Structure 1
């Protein structure tokens, strides 16, 4: 005696899956393609193929040395977890001063000493980055101070207005209600 297979009627969910599974899989492949242009733009920016950043600040003279500086992103500071809001700047030292500069620092407001010079730029002299905290109550009229320390012990400082370095940050600070 052989047992005949009893055919079960397919559920409506099973029929729906078998009918649309190909289309759903195609969507799963096509959706990420929509994000590819932004991804390639971000990779080119990180690699330096599109310059130092989205917005060049220009060449800044710091004592006998100079550097080119740019905002990494032309946007307001971004929240970085419990540490607050941060802004990224990139810089490139002049070719003559790369071997003479020991460290480069960035700070909002004039530093009182080298110990309070601010955040340090990291990376090679041809492309350095600094991630700076921006408190919400920062005065938008303050200056951005750049401090360079040489291998010979010399220290040079200069400042540029924050509105010149990052107009997006100044607009964000005014919106936050920064100190006048």
Structure 2
């Protein structure tokens, strides 16, 4: 019969396995604590639609496939989402032309009738003259734009 050596590992490995079984409790607790989102920005009328946007956090933009983006949720409060052919969001001094936006897949509104999500095209840092621009095109080909000022705490 083989004899086990009385090492620290052999004496305590069952205790470590018990600790590993307790780790899911910590991660379950974390997953049940919802994040606090910034408040929804004021509703704006963009053509036949009333749209409100909400940033998902107050962090600066992040790099995503060679672009800088900032995440937003968009709520279409008046008008039908199915009437929107395509929608884009960008942050800058002016709205990016629709022909240029169509060349890439960044900044596209996507989601359901209840909530739209977007990875808005953004610069690496913000300045006071920049705004959040929403560009919507209907199935008739009409293009509408609206914008929001950036919060003061983003302009650091």
When normalised by structure 1's length, the TM-score is 0.68
Could you tell me which runs of 5 or more consecutive residues in structure 1 were left unpaired when the two chains were aligned. Answer: 46-52, 175-180
- Larger % of strand: which? 2
2:5 maps to 1:19: no
Aligned to 1:177: none
Instruction: Answer with 139-148 or 114-123: which moved more.
Output: 114-123
Q: Retained in 2: the 8 A contact 1:92–1:128?
A: yes
Once the 2 structures are TM-superposed, how far is the Cα of residue 66 of structure 1 from its aligned partner?
0.9
- Superposition pairs for residues 79-158 of structure 1, below 5 Å? 79-80=62-63, 83=66, 85-94=68-77, 96-109=79-92, 110-111=94-95, 113-117=97-101, 119-158=107-146
32, 38, 46: which one aligns with 1:62: 46
> Please, which moves more after superposition, 74-83 or 62-71?
74-83
Q: 1:140·1:163 contact (CA, 8 Å) conserved in 2? A: no
* Structure-1 separation of matches of 2:50 and 2:33: 28
Q: 1:84 to 1:103 in 2, by over 3 A?
A: closer
Question: What SS is found at the alignment partner of 1:34?
Answer: helix
Please give the per-residue CA displacement for 1:84-124, whole angstroms capped at 9, x wherever unaligned. 54321111213532232222211112125222357111122
Aligned residues: 150
Judge conservation of contact 1:71–1:90 (CA < 8 Å) in 2. yes
CA gap of 1:119–1:21, structure 2 versus 1, over 3 A, is: same
Instruction: State how far apart, in whole Å, the 1-side matches of 2:91 and 2:150 are.
Output: 8
Cα drift, residue 77 of structure 1 = 3.0
1 CA distance for matches of 2:128 and 2:28? Answer: 36
User: What stretches of structure 2 of length at least 5 have no aligned partner?
Assistant: none
RMSD: 2.8
Distance in 2 separating the partners of 1:38 and 1:141: 38
Q: Work out the CA distance in 2 between the residues paired with 1:78 and 1:107.
A: 12
User: Which structure is higher in RCO with an 8 Å CA cutoff and minimum separation 6?
Assistant: 2
Q: d(CA) in 1 for partners of 2:61 and 2:127?
A: 18
In structure 2, the residue corresponding to 1:35 is in which secondary structure? helix
